[in-house]
Structure 1
Amino acid sequence: MSESLTAAVSRRVARPAPLRQAVYDALVELIISGTLKPGQHLVEGELAEQLGVSRQPVREALQRLHTDGWVDLRPAQGAFVHSPSQEEVEELLSVRAVLESYSAQLAAQNADPAGIERLRELQKEGMEAIAADDAERLVAANTALHDHIASLAGNNVLMQLISLVSRRVRWYYTPIAKPRGKDAWTEHAQLVEAIANGDADKASKIMRRHADRTTKLYRTLLRKD
């Protein structure tokens, strides 16, 4: 087990939560953060030791992670972190673009002053993360801002659909958080202003363009690899 993984899971999973769910969530977060990397072999015993649990909930979590597309199970070889294809990434980001363009439109129509103020705070947090060159903080701020826009939309079904793709979007976004950096947060600033001004059409167009540029950069980086 690598030192980085040991450090990342030094806080053992919380017992009050259902154990299988806690182990599943812990492993997903390790995959999203890049501590467990695409293609990496996952050894039940090592994961169980680091998470402070028996092998059984780890085995169950790996089965569910396989079902949900986070892990590949290979006969006679074991479990490996899934390596997303360009097609997978583009399909997910395309769906996200549709959902979030609509959420930006609704947010511009429905946001109240307190909600807009919170958007400005999250925008500031993102700019501070860029200045600090802190990728983890940048991803967290990006997720928080997009999630807040979804909440301002005032459509529970839409928010639930966005939440379904949010974790995987974080996984795909993490490698490009820094390269996307300043441009992404300039677009966020424009988006926040459109929402604050109640301009639903403009907010939707900015969000769609923002999502398309993220997809384009991801595609470029995949080609380099």
Structure 2
Amino acid sequence: MRVSTVTDESTEEPAQSNVERVYDLVRDLAIRFELRPGERVNEVALARQLQVSRTPLREALNRLTADGFLDCRTGKGFFRRNLEVKEIFDLYEFRQKIEIAGSELAAERADPTKVQELRDFLEISRRDDPERTVEDLVALDEQFHEMLAALSGNGEIVETLRRINARIRFVRWVAMENDRRSHTQCEHVAILDAVASGRPAEARQILQHHIDARLEQITEAIRNSYAQIYMNGTRAEAQ
């Protein structure tokens, strides 16, 4: 009897789709702080709650660890990552220095063709789209800042910024839902205008304010989230 060696894509796709679904569900639990910071993830209970097997759940948890929502501790399992304000401040301060350096170089070196590509990207990204998720908004914001850094012509600046973005991505979800997107987009346009016109001092000033404001917003969101977490926890224990 001949044994077929053709992979059944119809079974692979649903499996991958299931991992994506579980990833989204657990990520939402983390964002809404239904998983408290520092809390251990009970995989058995979570699999039962989501009505999934352990395999897609484990894949989703590994992805969430890579994205910074969870920590994986050897021999202990997965934990909701703590939100350390000092760590976030340090990363944003570093991001600010890197982006300012990139913008100053970009004001000297920017290729007009690349500047126009970034303008086109901004024009598309600032359009209202009810289908966009918080994930989409974070990705668009990261893409703008990385494209801006790329105008510097310095690949190390771009790569460093990408690494910083990967480390702060998990916490940006906390604040993005309350983001004043139209104001953010106007600042993006102003930053690009300053760079394109060869005005590094102006680009520096706008970027500094832009990132400072974002840090304040995120810090406040984290504090509010912690207050909400423990207020809800106290109520639940009292019932």
TM-score over 0.5 for the pair: yes
Q: Give deviations 1:68-122, integer Å, cap 9, x for gaps.
A: 9653346875212313222221111111111111111111211111111121122
**1:46-195 equivalent positions in 2, closer than 5 A:** 49-50=55-56, 65=65, 71-73=70-72, 78-129=77-128, 132=130, 134=132, 135-180=134-179, 181-195=181-195
Q: Tell me by how many angstroms 1:137 deviates.
A: 2.5
Tell me whether 1:10 sits opposite 2:17 in the alignment: yes
**1:7-46 equivalent positions in 2, closer than 5 A:** 10=17, 30=23, 34-35=27-28, 37=30, 39=35, 41=41, 43=43
Q: Give structure 1 stretches of 5+ with no counterpart.
A: 1-6, 14-26
- Tell me the number of residue pairs that the alignment of Structure 1 and Structure 2 aligns: 195
Bigger Cα Rg: 2
**TM-score, structure 2 normalization:** 0.67
- Describe the shift of the 1:115–1:36 C-alpha distance in structure 2 as closer, same or farther (beyond 3 A): farther
The amino acid across from 1:49 in the alignment is T
Residue 206 of structure 1 is matched in structure 2 by 206
Superposition RMSD on alpha carbons, in Å?
3.6
Q: Do the aligned partners of 1:36 and 1:81 also contact (CA within 8 Å) in 2?
A: no
Which piece of structure 1 moves more, 39-48 or 97-106? 39-48
Q: Give structure 2 stretches of 5+ with no counterpart.
A: 1-13, 226-239
Residue 18 of structure 1 is matched in structure 2 by none
Over the matched positions of the two proteins, sequence identity in percent amounts to 23
Query: Secondary structure at the residue paired with 1:132?
Result: coil
Q: Give deviations 1:117-165, integer Å, cap 9, x for gaps.
A: 1211222233114x53733332221111011011111112222211211
Q: Do the aligned partners of 1:122 and 1:141 also contact (CA within 8 Å) in 2?
A: no
- Describe the shift of the 1:192–1:132 C-alpha distance in structure 2 as closer, same or farther (beyond 3 A): farther
Q: Do the aligned partners of 1:143 and 1:170 also contact (CA within 8 Å) in 2?
A: no
Distance 1:119 1:176 in 2: 25
